[in-house]
Amino acid sequence: MPEILEAIHRLRAGSGSRSLFGMLRDAFGDSADYRTEAVGASGSEPVYICFLASLCSTQKLDLLLGSTGIGELSAKLSRYNGTSIGEADQPACEKAICNGSAVICTSLSENGLLVDLSETQQRGIGSPITESVLQGPMYAFNENLDANTALIRQQIRSPKLKMWETKVGELSQTRIAVFYCQGAADPDLLASLKERIGNIQADGIQDSGQLLRLLVSRKKLGLFPLAMSSERPDRSTADLLRGKMVIMVNGSPFALTVPAVYTDFWHSPEDNYVNPYVAYFLLSLRFLAMFMNLFLPALYIALTSVNVDVNRLEISLAASASREGVPYPVFVETFLMLLIIDFITEAGIRLPKTISSTVTMVGGVVLGQAIIQANIVSNLLVIIVAATAITNFIVIDYQMGLVQRILKYFIAIGATVAGLLGIMFCFACLVFYLSCLESFGAPYLTSLRRKGAIQP
């Protein structure tokens, strides 16, 4: 490959005291995976190739390494026919080595040639873990931005799908991509998003959730998630067609959709694939579950301790009978049980799957039975708490599920203070709070109906 060889011969010797080879050795000297190999000679100067072995493809490297004769350099380089090889100075060479490229230089040259030998470590395309459906596409994003871009492009084969990319993180240099459909997305939002991403000051970004925290100013950081996080390409593409924007972070399998409104968190991707009546039924079921999750423990407190006359006499008597022998006030036993069920849920999520089922069994059945027999809580409360836990799992979005888990305590406190009125007051406060929220310029509380998709 005469051009590459010519380029090597053209590399000028450094006028300063240090050569590129020396500076690279100083920069990466303490890294065990940093390698320098002599692969030939340019006149009397030996030619070296410098790289991080952990980031370079062994297969591609084998082309350069492995043989011994210095005169074979031309033959070795000919294997790289068609590869873009450019000259770069020391900072660019350092950056390129960190990205998996190799630098070819002589011992005295001040610049080097960059050869892209990078190999990205990634898992294959798998099934979604947090958003499983029974009907619909069964593949999910992974940690590779290029693979994720391909998944989106495969679903929207139109030039209207645009992708803006930048790097964020002083040290991590993480690739961030913003996808949008031209003509459907709000240009003002796009401009503001680009500005916000450009203004991020951080050493590194590991996940899209972390990016969201950095995108939303500390003042506006509230309890509710302001962007939809999804690992499903079908969901992201559907959102893109509806005029939303999708942000992806290299290294994170979760795409962020902005703006996101409250009702978005209650729609499953499956809703688009099943009969619309069934979808409406499921949606209603989810909202009902949300209300039960929020209000059931609080109603128990209100109806058994503050507003005992509201319930039917038979139910009140049954509740009182089940509490017979329980030494604590209603709110204490309720908070105790809610905390225990949250402990069990958290343990079930964190532990390996093989153990988590045992923990759930022990926590749910054994502990539940024992706690009743020990007269610590009433039978009725165990039913209430179990129902509350089940309804929490109906929440589509994991982040929203976490918020629900917190909010039920808030409403239970309201019920403890003022019974039914306390519940209503807390509910009103919640609505007021939601009505004040905005997700990237869009009011969080908007209608339940989704806007129609554009035709790409």
Partner 1 sequence: MKKNPPSLTGYDMFSIQVLFFGASAGFIYPSLIVRSTTGAYWVPLVVWAAVALLSCLLYSKLLGRLQEGKLIDRLCQSAGIPAALIICLPQLIFIFGALVVMLRAYSELITMTMLPTTPITFLNGMLLAPGALALAGMMPIARAARVLYLISTLLSVCLMLIGFSDVKWTLGGPWLFTNGDFLMIRNFYSGSFIWMGFVFTALIGSYNPRISGRYRKSYIYALLLSFPMIAGFIYLPVMTFGRELTRHLTLPYISKMDSVYHYWVVFENLTALFVSVTMLYVLLVMALKLHALGESVKSLFPRANPIWIYGIVVLLVYASASALPSWRAVEGTIFYTLGLRLYALFGFPLLGLALLSVRERKRKVAS
Contact call for residue 427 and partner 1 (CB under 8 A): yes
Segment near partner 1 (CB under 8 A), from 7-15, 127-135, 205-213, 421-429? 421-429
**Distance from C-alpha of 156 to C-alpha of 165, rounded to nearest angstrom:** 18
Rounded to a whole number of angstroms, the minimum distance from the CB of residue 309 to partner 1 is 5
Cα-to-chain-centroid distance, residue 319: 44
Interaction between residue 390 and partner 1 (CB under 8 A) = no
What are the backbone dihedrals phi and psi of residue 36, each rounded to the nearest 5 degrees, phi first? -130, 130
Stretch that binds partner 1, among 29-37, 207-215, 325-333, 415-423 (CB under 8 A): 415-423
- Select 387 or 424, whichever has its Cβ closest to partner 1: 424
Closer Cβ to partner 1, 315 or 361, answer by number: 315
Given 18, 95, 435, 441, the residue binding partner 1 (CB under 8 A): 435
Instruction: Tell me how many degrees the CA angle 165-169-173 measures, rounded to the nearest 5.
Output: 60
- First-to-final CA distance of the chain: 45
Q: Quick check: 219 binds partner 1 (CB under 8 A)?
A: no
Please report how close the Cβ of residue 319 comes to partner 1 at its closest, in angstroms. Answer: 13
Q: Which residue, 107 or 263, has its beta carbon nearer to partner 1?
A: 263
Residues 176 and 248: beta-carbon distance below 8 Å: yes
User: Site for partner 1 (CB under 8 A): how many residues?
Assistant: 26
Q: Does 311 engage in binding with partner 1 (CB under 8 A)?
A: yes
Tell me which of 53, 278, 310, 406 binds partner 1, using CB under 8 A.
310
Name the H helices within 125-260: 145-155, 187-198, 208-215, 233-241
Q: Is residue 313 at the binding interface for partner 1, with CB under 8 A as the rule?
A: yes
Give the integer Cα–Cα distance in Å for 72 and 99. Answer: 28
> Residue 222 Cβ, how far from partner 1 at the closest point, in Å?
13
Spatial CA neighbour of 181 closest among 208, 163, 154, 155? 163
Q: According to the binding rule CB under 8 A, does residue 223 interact with partner 1?
A: no
Q: By CB under 8 A, is residue 428 in contact with partner 1? A: yes
| Spatial contact of 110 and 14, defined as CB atoms under 8 Å apart | yes
Of 200, 372, 386, 421, the one binding partner 1 (CB under 8 A) is 421
**In the complex, minimum distance from the CB of residue 402 to partner 1, in angstroms, rounded to a whole number:** 22
Distance (Å, rounded) from C-alpha 11 to C-alpha 19?
11
Please say which residue, 355 or 436, places its beta carbon nearer to partner 1: 436
Specify burial of residue 190 (Cβ count, 10 A radius: 0-12, 13-18, 19+). Answer: middle
For β-strands 438-439 and 228-230, DSSP reports them as unpaired
Contact region with partner 1 (CB under 8 A), list: 4-12, 190-198, 305-313, 334-342: 305-313
Whether the CB-CB separation of 79 and 34 falls below 8 Å is answered with no
Closest CA to 323 of 339, 302, 338, 304: 304
Binding-site member from 264, 419, 439, 440 for partner 1 (CB under 8 A): 419
**Binding residue (CB under 8 A) for partner 1 from 420, 442, 453, 454:** 420
Return the structure tokens found at 450. Answer: 């989704």
* Closer CB to partner 1, 443 or 456, in the complex: 443
Task: Indicate the helix (H) or strand (E) that contains 372.
Answer: helix 368-373
Strands 442-443 and 438-439: antiparallel
Q: Contact at 8 Å (CB) between 190 and 155?
A: no
The minimum distance between CB 357 and partner 1, in angstroms, equals 36
**Binds partner 1 by CB under 8 A, chosen from 137, 209, 443, 456:** 443
By CB under 8 A, name the binding residues for partner 1. 306-307, 309-313, 315, 418-421, 423-425, 427-429, 431-432, 434-436, 443, 445-446
